[in-house]
A and B are shown apart, each in its own frame.
Chain A
Amino acid sequence: MSASFKLTRRGFAGGLMLLGLGRAVRAQGFAGLGGEAGGFAPVLPGRPLTFPTDHGPHPEFRIEWWYLTANLTDANGAAYGAQWTLFRQAMAPGPQRDGWANQQIWMGHAAVTSAATHRYAEAFARGGVGQAGVTATPFRAWIDAWEMRGGEAMADTTLSPLDVAASAADFSYTLRLTAERPLVLQGDSGYSRKSERGQASYYYSQPFFAARGSISIDGKPIEVTGRAWMDREWSSQPLSSDQTGWDWFSLHLQSGEKLMLFRLRQADGRNYFAGNWIGLDGKSVQLSATAIEIRPTASTAIGERQLPTSWRIAIPERGLSIDTIPLNPSSWMGTSFPYWEGPIAFSGSQSGIGYLEMTGY
């Protein structure tokens, strides 16, 4: 597995590379995410998302993820981050086979971040036997002992309450997430375009979670509270073959509004911008590509890689101009298929907190 191989945001690149699908990667975007979707269901505009069904897996699509990030603080005001992610990847299209013959592969990532340290772990599992999976009703997503479980009386429209837990050799956490406001559809009513050629995914979020629980680093428990953001996305070919990586932001503005932005980097040096502005009322408005200005301002060396860990973001039409800094510039996920994912804080016309993910570096 060559070092030149990079991961995409939420792309199940890890699994793809593990599966040896990474052939001719450069020609097909990262790790085959830009590969042809032959045999899998296409992502088309105008498909209404329905809940709770869409909380569950969509095996007819090639890739899918349940992605949670949380910005937390302890009693003394120290900041922490937590990540819980479950990826699904289908090795082959067609009707689902039973038992070990099932063609789904699952991958889990979990991490906690503080200003001083960044801990992470990963897990792999095959579908069909129960080691990992997702059910829509009651809502549960799990891989090994890591779990995301809908609490009693979970509302399908809010995904609340939700209990999340993960543990590894040197960290663990349990969080309870609650939200009052309904889920938010990203892109155009849940249809999120990823390139000018029409690559897209289905994408919805719950950005309004309040989080409470405890994290533990090296056996020392810390009570924490904060905010969390859950993303759900599935697709069969989310990237164009000439896209090399992306930078993705989820921001909790001080005003209570939320902002999701991403920049897809293309091999020709140009970028594809997209984002949604989520108002206090929960209404999600798609931003036009020309309305988004994102550029790096400082970088951090991690190994032989240079990661742009500080950014300037401007949405002039919304009067937004902010600078972001990472809680821990070394929030490197050194998993089988590495990327950068960690909590950030920002200031400027608005202040707040959020999460940054960078892939393909």
Chain B
Amino acid sequence: MNLWSAITLGFKEIWSHKFRSALTMLGIILGVSSLVAMSALTAGMEKGMKEALIAIGGLQKIRVERQELPIEQRHLRDQAPGVTMDDLKAIRASAPLIHEISPEMRLQRATVTANGKTIRPFMLNGVWPEAIAMNEHVVEHGRMFNEIDDEMARSVCVIGTETRDELFGDPEKMGHEVIPLGETIYINSVPFTIIGMFQHYESEQAKKIRELKAKEPKVPVVPGAPKRNRGWGGGRQGGFVFYIKNAMIYIPLNTMWIKFKAGNAMQAGLSTTGTPKLDNLQLKIGDLETLTPAIQQVHNVLMSSHKGIEDFTFRTQEDWAEQIANQIKNARLSGGMIAAISLLVGGIGIMNIMLASITERVREIGIRKSVGATTFDVFVQIVVESMVIALVGGLLGLITSFGLVQLLRSLSPTDNAPLITASAMLVAFAFSALVGVVAGLIPAVKASRLHPIQALRYD
């Protein structure tokens, strides 16, 4: 007997017991669809994580920050230089593993006033133009300030969309595009001109949600009703890292120094070496493989330029990425386990039905053997039949999984929309085939071992 007739026979057998087969398949359908849905969930999480990781500049970014001296060096505190422009020059000169370097000076507790509104920006940094590349920023309107702006300490700034929303209005609420180029904002009462604005950063899912919202009709406003704040409506839908990026205000480093820091030199400005203190240095390496040697290199350079005083530390995104990767792994493991168990239960269902089916068909097996079916023929017939049930169930399960994922999406719209991957479908389908074969083995062996005479006499 060839495989093709075995397969058609399997389909016939399923068709002649429609209800029974449907119930048996249900186990496989649920198993396969939950397996696909679970992997879709984790794939969605993974995608969201990757987007967020790219938004903060990737794993290749190292930040050099000031740090309290170790206990045995506390008496040298007044000698500690802090992170300074000297360090930047030293690293540039002596740490070849560092490909990019960008200084950062933060203005804490700044107030920004414009358009009759005052806000406290989440972050106001004095940087070099290099900060754009370092932090994966894209200037959508206007321009980034350049070296000349920095050299001349011009009062110019580049803002993110969140700052724009707060000061000049959200284009979605205003109903028209808001590009405040050329407007003047007052940072701690110092006037600055906006010369550029970044693009709006968000995860792809947040973008989809926003686009969907735009299509929906606006909440009707009852005319004459008093104005009210409808509360926080998921304004940070894009996730925290995107919010931070959008709430950014950049001004030239020199401007930051001259307008805000130099006047207060003794307290926060000048280092013991006489150069301006920085809040941190952002470094970027070329290849993730060189992360550890690069940090070692920078450490050596800084230990030398700081005369052995370890008043700095390194911060990478490894822990963050690892933590998220761990969460995904756990979710995948537990989800996969649950799905595998349901697939297993489905397989047990198939085995059960196949065992019942062969008891019912002992006589048929006897007849087949008497006309020349070999042990192997009978074995193949039963295994193929079990596999056909599993594969049809698996196929239906794949179709069901789309519905299941749609359901998950509508039940809990998150940043990390579940994402059905081809590989997940393939794996789930292969698993259902495997379950079918394994579930068919015992009934097939039982059936094929039947002695033809006893099988023929069976009632």
Q: Do A and B come from one complex?
A: no
- Identify the A interface with B (CB < 8 A): none
Which residues does B use to contact A, with CB under 8 Å? none
